[in-house]
Amino acid sequence: MADRVRSLTDVLLSVESISLSFGGVKALTDISFDIKKGEIRAIIGPNGAGKSSLLNCINGFYHPQEGAITYKGQRRSRMRPHEAAEQGIARTFQNIALFRGMSTLDNIMTGRNLAMRTGLFWQALRLGPAEREEIDHRKAVERIIDFLEIQHIRKVPVGQLPYGLQKRVELGRALAAEPELLLLDEPMAGMNLEEKEDMCRFVLDVNDEFGTTICLIEHDMGVVMDISDRLVVLDYGKKIGDGPPEAVKHDKAVIDAYLGVSH
């Protein structure tokens, strides 16, 4: 993607020496890094390196015992997940977390939750402002459905969909919130090559068309090198590398830890 031109200067989120432990077991130790507006930032590292924990800290599922996270210039303490969502952080999960009983459409509609504001009474009757609002949201959702090419499964309960499509619906739900920062926890895990390429294209297109900042965890090094602007490398809860793919690829510590070179 040589033709992706951008100026990455504004910091959207910065993580300042956070540490997280669960009952004495250290999951993250003194991690600092930042995510710049408009970039695709990847977090990589071997299993158990603390990647998901880091993502969970950013979106408020976990609260680090030490350090702070600054988002859009605001230092925040103990933010809860729904508050993170309100501030424009959306995410997907490593093990798909969809509303299995609902259709694709309803799942993505739920992603619009924060944008919906009319009163209960109007909503129940689908009258007046509620009807207009429902139509507006439906339009936004249809645009996402079109974008992700999932028109054919609009009305299908997501529980019946194959894995790759579920991942796509989950991405759709996250996009429905029109997030500023999108966290993707292994968006391509368990996919075959073709599905992976589709997903890569969607991630790049999201970044490109909507200007969404993306922070993703991914195992497939090829994918990571291809699509991310900068990488953070974790190992045993510590940061061992940070920088553009080319630099990280040649970093000795990273090669040793990640590519499993024996010492």
Partner 1 sequence: MGFFLEVLIGGLLAGVLYSLVALGFVLIFKASGVFNFAQGAMVLTAALALVRALDVFEQWHWPFAVALLSAFVFAAVIMAIIAWAAERLVLRKLVNQEGIILFMATIGVTFFLEGLSQSLFGADVYPLNVGLPKDPVFLLESLFDGGILVNELDIWAAVIAGLLVAGLALFFQRTRIGRALRAVADDHAAAQSVGIPLNQIWFIVWLVAGLVALVAGTVWGSKLGVQFSLSLLALKALPVLILGGFTSVPGAIIGGLIIGAGEKLAEVFLGPSMGGGIEIWFAYVLALLFLLVRPQGLFGERIIERV
Partner 2 sequence: MTTAGSSHGSEALDTFPKMLAARARAGGDRPAYREKEFGIWQTYSWAHVASEVERLAAGLVVLGFSRGDRLIVVGDNRPRLYWAICAAQSLGGVPVPVYQDSVAEELAYVVEHAGARFAIAENQEQIDKLLEIRKSAPALSVLIYDDPRGLRHYEGLLSYSEVQERGTKLLAGRPESVAAEAAKGCGADDAIILYTSGTTGRPKGAVLSYDNLVWAARAGAHFDGLREGDELLSYLPMAWVGDHIFSYAQGYVVGLVVNCPESATTVMNDLREIGPTYYFAPPRVLENLITQVTIRMEDAGLVKRKLFQIFVGLARRIGPALLDGKKVSLADRLLYRLGDLLVYGPLKNSLGMSRVRVAYTAGEAVGSEIFSFYRALGINMKQLYGQTEASVFVTIHPNGEVYSDTVGKPVSDVELRIGSSGEVLYRSPGVFKEYFKNPEATNDTKTADGWVHTGDAGYLDERGHLRIIDRARDVGKLNDGTLFAPKFIENKLKFFSHINEAVVFGQGRDFVAAFVNIDITAVGDWAERRNIAYASYQELAGRPEVYDLIQGEIERVNRDLANDPRMAGAQIRRFLVLHKALDADDGELTRTNKVRRGFIGERYKPLVEALYDGSRSAHMKVGVTFEDGRKGTIEGTVQIRDLAPLPAAPLKKAS
Chain residues binding partner 1 by CB under 8 A are: 59, 61, 80-82, 85-86, 90-91, 93, 97-102, 106, 109-111, 113-114, 116, 118, 120, 123-126, 170, 173-174, 176-177
Size of the site for partner 2 (CB under 8 A): 21
Q: Shortest distance, CB of residue 259 to partner 1, whole angstroms?
A: 32
3-state class of 233 per DSSP? strand
Q: Shortest distance, CB of residue 205 to partner 2, whole angstroms?
A: 6
Instruction: Tell me which of partner 2, partner 1, none is bound by residue 5, counting a contact when its beta carbon lies within the kind-specific cut-off of 5 to 8 angstroms.
Output: partner 2
Question: Which CB, 51 or 137, lies closer to partner 2?
Answer: 137
Among 31, 84, 145, 175, binds partner 2 (CB under 8 A): 145
What is the distance between the terminal CA atoms of the chain, rounded to a whole angstrom? 35
Q: How far apart are CA 161 and CA 100, in angstroms?
A: 10
Instruction: Tell me which of partner 2, partner 1, none is bound by residue 109, counting a contact when its beta carbon lies within the kind-specific cut-off of 5 to 8 angstroms.
Output: partner 1
Neighbours of 168 (CB within 10 A): 23
Instruction: Tell me which of partner 2, partner 1, none is bound by residue 100, counting a contact when its beta carbon lies within the kind-specific cut-off of 5 to 8 angstroms.
Output: partner 1
Q: How far apart are CA 163 and CA 70, in angstroms?
A: 35
220: contact with partner 2 by CB under 8 A: no
Question: Which CB, 30 or 142, lies closer to partner 2?
Answer: 142
194: contact with partner 2 by CB under 8 A: yes
Alpha helix stretches (DSSP H) within 11-162:
51-58, 81-86, 104-111, 120-125, 128-147
Q: How far apart are CA 139 and CA 37, in angstroms?
A: 27
Neighbours of 256 (CB within 10 A): 14
146: contact with partner 2 by CB under 8 A: yes
Question: Which CB, 174 or 240, lies closer to partner 1?
Answer: 174
Instruction: Tell me which of partner 2, partner 1, none is bound by residue 173, counting a contact when its beta carbon lies within the kind-specific cut-off of 5 to 8 angstroms.
Output: partner 1
Instruction: Tell me which of partner 2, partner 1, none is bound by residue 236, counting a contact when its beta carbon lies within the kind-specific cut-off of 5 to 8 angstroms.
Output: none
80-87 contacts at long range (C-beta below 8 A, 24 or more positions apart): 84/58, 84/59, 84/60, 85/59, 85/114, 85/177, 86/114
Write the DSSP assignment of 100-111 as a string of letters.
TTSBHHHHHHHH
